[in-house]
Amino acid sequence: MTPLDPLLFGEIDPPQRLLMGPGPVNAHPRVLRAMSADLLGQFDPEMTGYMNQVMALYRPIFGTQNPWTMLIDGTARAGIEAALVSLVAPGDTVLVINFGRFGLLLGEILTRIGAVIETVDAPWGEIVPMEAIAAAIERTGPKIVACVHGDTSTTMAQPLDGLGDLCRAAGALCYVDATATIGGMAIAADRWGVDVVTGGLQKCLGGPSGSAPITISDRAADHIFARRHTEAGIRSADSIDGAGPRIASNYFDLAMIMDYWSDKRLNHHTEATSMLYAARECARVMLGEGLEARYARHAAAGRAMSAGLRAMGLTLFGDDAHRMTNVTGVFIPQGVDNDRVRAAMRDHFEIEIGTAFGPLQGRIWRIGAMGYNAMKHKVLLTLAALEACLLREGFLLPAGAAVPAALEAWG
């Protein structure tokens, strides 16, 4: 221990920072408190009871009746990889609907799985029209279609109504990454007709990163169970293996994870208990508020943020008709120093706003209002602080206009 500071860096004591970027955001205090509950054994009836409650709580949040609705132990990206590695076998053709960085991520993960990747693309700031998707499905004959719902890199939300019908007609399964929208914009897995949807806690659900809710249609579950290979250490006489190709990951093998969450309770990983408590409380907070009220609150926050930014004379990025409600892209004005403004926001106001990736890096900020932060006062405080920081930069703007515009847009 000698080389370490004897104070061992002190108690955990993060600054109270308002996180108005594209996520992670501040967690709801009830979620933080839920994580301080004591642990349980993984096959304790109280624990499996909580697991079953989580399954019930996430069905309305995903807009589904799917029995297979549960958690993957890892960040939102773990949920994406679990879905793709369990659905897709090497050599399968996958059509990626690509309109931003997280569409690229789907392709990246699929490359490693050994899929044959086809894409149908939109420029950053737009979405892919359903007719283009239909044509691409016809052209490529995919086994799987993969899509991001809301891509925070571009702040665009892809319309998904009708996608399931196109996939079913073509005999394809459909995966949707709803990390950035779940809890803030309506997820309608059953109405969309999509097979697997994954999310994360750290954006509109108002929890910490580290648990990925997932829902799986019966059709997809059959497909996945056909690839089941029970591991040697827990194999028994009644283990049933499928004839399909073995899933390339053990940790992300949804067949084994479903066996763990089912009444079989076959040992796999040790469920991340505190994160399960967090996921459960995120869902309770959300359903207690009511789905429609919650989506309306996010929509109001998005409208107010957009109106306030425009009242400051700033220009929003991307297609107005397909904007995510919970994160807004705004061009950094000419002559304004990106890093200096974000530093001033943080140092003077303890507010974080987001930078951008790839072609948008240094060109836009991404300002979020998600989950516990999709609140009127937090939107107004962010606008007021940004106005002050831009004025200090010498940017000419109609001082005092942003807050009233936002208030009016909130409605």
Q: Which of residues 54-83 bind a copy of itself (CB under 8 A)?
A: 56-57, 60, 73-78, 81
In this complex, which beta carbon is closest to a copy of itself, that of residue 320 or of residue 377?
377
Selected from 63, 67, 107, 242, the binder of a copy of itself by CB under 8 A is 107
Distance CA 58, CA 282 (A): 10
Alpha carbons 7 and 54: distance in angstroms, whole number: 39
Q: How far separated are the first and last CA of the chain, in Å rounded? A: 58
Residue 243 found at the interface with a copy of itself (CB under 8 A): no
What tokens were used for 307?
């109106």
Give the footprint of a copy of itself on residues 117-156 (CB under 8 A).
Answer: 153
Which of 280, 298, 303, 366 touches a copy of itself (CB under 8 A)? 280
For a copy of itself, the closer CB: 56 or 391 = 56
Nearer to a copy of itself, 53 or 338 (CB): 53
Site for a copy of itself in 328-367 (CB under 8 A): 346, 352, 357-358
Choose which of 168, 269, 310, 376 interacts with a copy of itself (CB under 8 A): 269
* Site membership for a copy of itself, residue 3 (CB under 8 A): yes
Q: Which among 84, 85, 51, 81 is positioned nearest to 68, based on CA atoms? A: 51
Contact residue for a copy of itself among 123, 129, 171, 290 (CB under 8 A): 290
Q: Rule CB under 8 A: say whether 268 interacts with a copy of itself.
A: yes
**Residue 15 binds a copy of itself (CB under 8 A):** yes
Applying CB under 8 A, among 69, 155, 198, 209 the residue interacting with a copy of itself is 209
CB-based contact 180:22 (threshold 8 Å): yes
Q: Which residue, 78 or 174, is less far from a copy of itself as judged by CB?
A: 78
Secondary structure in 3-state letters for 236-277: CCCCCCCCCCCCCCCCCCHHHHHHHHCCCCCCCCCCCHHHHH
Cα–Cα distance for residue pair 164/190, rounded to 1 Å: 9
Q: Which of 101, 149, 228, 303 binds a copy of itself (CB under 8 A)?
A: 101
Dist. CA 391–CA 313, nearest whole Å: 12
Establish if 105 lies at the interface with a copy of itself (CB under 8 A). yes
Specify the stretch interacting with a copy of itself by CB under 8 A; choose among 11-19, 163-171, 181-189, 330-338: 11-19
**For the CA atoms of 278, 283, 288, 292, what is the dihedral angle to 10 degrees?**
140
Instruction: Report how far apart, in Å, the C-alpha atoms of 107 and of each of 95, 145, 181 are.
Output: 9, 11, 20
Phi-psi region of 338 (alpha: psi -120 to 50; beta: other; left: phi over 0): alpha
